Amino acid sequence: MSYSPIRAEAQGHAGRDTMELLEAIDGRRSVREYTDAPVDDSVVRELIGAAIKAPSAINQQPWAFVVVNDSALLTRISDQAKAYLLKASLGTPAHPFREMLNDPKFHIFYHAPILVVIAAAEPTDWAVEDCALAAENLMLAAYAKGLGTCWIGFAQHWLATADGKAALGVPATYAAIAPIIVGHPRRQPPPVPRKAPEIHWLGKTQPKA
């Protein structure tokens, strides 16, 4: 077997790096309580640097990043997104989040200091999947730095509108995929129980239970 410096380096660091990665995967939580401490711009750049290391189909890297650190703008987006969701759900009186969205005190970004919106700058066939992969990298990197994150689904529909894109300052052709808040967690949320995975093995031999 020929010598491979890449393989040798991977083997030399496998134990340490794999454990650190698995700890991040195991420890990451969706955080909805934040302190008032700001997040340095340099740290945000590092998180985005980790995000763009994600794989993308045909290496197209279709993503763009919008960083919002203006609390007044975040509040305005929160109010607009809530109103948009309430209007869209008028035909469903049993909407599970109606009471929450009607609460004027409810802030969809949980008063986090930073919102990073990962957008698809190019309408590729797999742009959504590519941006989602970048989002996971960003969230794991944030956890490794002691920060909390949460993907805010409440923001997605309004950010996809013309008004939402205008608020972000992006072209009409962009598509907001992953609105992720970032900040210093007030506390670490407890683990969430996971269901046992449903696995179907296809092959000549089946692993033992």
- Give the burial class of 196: count Cβ atoms within 10 A of its Cβ; 0-12 exposed, 13-18 middle, 19 or more buried: exposed
Instruction: Return d(Cα 146, Cα 151) in angstroms, integer.
Output: 17
pLDDT, tens digit, 9 for 90 and up, residues 37-95: 999 999 999 999 999 999 999 999 999 999 999 999 999 999 999 999 998 876 566 67
DSSP secondary structure, 179-197, as one string? EEEEE-BSSPPPPPP-PPP
Report the Cα 119 to chain-centroid distance in Å. Answer: 11
Task: Indicate the pTM of the whole model.
Answer: 0.88
> What architecture (CATH level 2) is domain 34-89+97-183?
3-Layer(aba) Sandwich (3.40)
Instruction: Return d(Cα 134, Cα 138) in angstroms, integer.
Output: 6
Instruction: Return d(Cα 159, Cα 131) in angstroms, integer.
Output: 15
* Domain coordinates in residue numbering, the chain: 34-89+97-183
Res 126 pLDDT > 70 = yes
Res 128 pLDDT > 60 = yes
pLDDT, tens digit, 9 for 90 and up, residues 148-198: 999 999 999 999 999 999 999 999 999 999 999 999 999 989 988 999 999
Contact 89, 58 (CB under 8 A): no
pLDDT at res. 5? 40
Nearest Cα residue to 31 out of 105, 95, 114: 114
pLDDT at res. 89? 74
pLDDT, tens digit, 9 for 90 and up, residues 137-150: 999 999 999 999 99
User: Residue 92's CB: how many other CB atoms inside 10 A?
Assistant: 9
Instruction: Return d(Cα 61, Cα 103) in angstroms, integer.
Output: 39
User: Residue 194's CB: how many other CB atoms inside 10 A?
Assistant: 6
- Mean pLDDT score, 7-15: 45
pLDDT at res. 160? 95
Res 31 pLDDT > 90 = yes
pLDDT at res. 16? 55
Res 121 pLDDT > 60 = yes
Instruction: Return d(Cα 62, Cα 56) in angstroms, integer.
Output: 8
Nearest Cα residue to 183 out of 159, 148, 151: 148
